Amino acid sequence: MVYLSMSKIVDGAALAAKLKETIKNEVSELTKSGQKINFVAVAVGEHSSNNQFLEKKQQSCAEVGIEMRIVKLDKTATQDKLEAAIKKLSADKNVHGILLQLPMPVGLDTRKAIKCIEPTKDVDGLTYTNFGRLVQGHAAIIPCTALAILHILKSNNIQIEGADAVVIGRSFTVGRSIAALLQSYNATVTVCTKATKDVASYPTCRHYRSRSRCPKHINLCNGKIRCRSHRRRSKPP
């Protein structure tokens, strides 16, 4: 999670709509030149939240003119079968983007599967090539949550360079990528985990103190960002 101490409401949905319109125009130009963009999501088993995410992704793709299809493997699929499916898509010149829907069933190795994705088709920016380039400060395909936060900050003219940022959580898909991206813009970043002692002692995290003393701030974790007070919470994951 990322919080900014400021009294301002940011409408993430409005920013998303504007960005979609820009992407729609770019896709239209590519289509006119004879290029058709094909995006494939790979999912294993049935997972209610995964299905919802996939439906929303399909809807968003349809809105901007990108063709998206879902390759669904049975929950009993082996690691070899999963990797073979991803490698086949990576080798297909008609496929331009690949996403591995997470989480996967217990027993499957997520990182080994991600390694099978061709880096230039790595929509989530999670391959070692893209994530490594991000950490080193080079051009890369950036994980979507981190990129969304960067877009929100830039769209609201919030200066990142020299800013103090506290990222709560260090997950591979979110926390680590957000921290790396902010650092590449010369922010001073602190990453808090479940082992962090006294999270409330960090200036940007004072909302962890009693509710009555909680300042207003921006919560950049959800689609529509609100400026509000938060109840006291336990240590972050």
Higher pLDDT residue, 223 or 24? 24
Which tokens in the block code for residue 98? 């690949």
Asked if 134 and 182 count as a contact pair (C-beta separation under 8 A), the reply is no
Cα-based distances in Å from 197 to 167, 172, 178, 207, 212: 14, 21, 21, 15, 22
**Hey, what CATH topology would domain 3-13+138-228 get?**
Rossmann fold (3.40.50)
Q: How much is the mean pLDDT over the chain?
A: 82
Say if strands 227-228 and 217-219 run parallel, antiparallel, or are unpaired: antiparallel
Model's pTM, two decimal places?
Answer: 0.77
Higher pLDDT residue, 222 or 80? 80
pLDDT digits (tens, 9 = 90+) for 89-140: 999 999 999 999 998 999 999 999 999 999 999 999 999 999 999 998 888 8
Kindly state the helix (H) or strand (E) to which residue 136 belongs, with its residue range: none
Same topology, domains 3-13+138-228 and 36-133? Answer is: yes
CATH class in words for 36-133: alpha beta
Which of 64, 44, 68, 73 lies closest to 55 in space, CA to CA?
68
Domains of the chain: which residue ranges?
3-13+138-228, 36-133
pLDDT digits (tens, 9 = 90+) for 21-49: 999 999 999 999 998 999 999 999 988 88
pLDDT band at 210 (very low <50, low <70, confident <90, very high): very low
Cβ neighbors of 154 (< 8 A, separation 6 or more) are none
Cα-based distances in Å from 58 to 48, 55, 154, 164: 15, 5, 27, 36
**pLDDT for 117:** 98
Give the amino acid at 15. L
Quick one: average pLDDT of 195-222? 51
Beta bridge partners of 188: 164
- φ and ψ of 39, to 5 deg: -120, 135
Task: For residue 217, count other CB atoms closer than 10 A to its CB.
Answer: 22
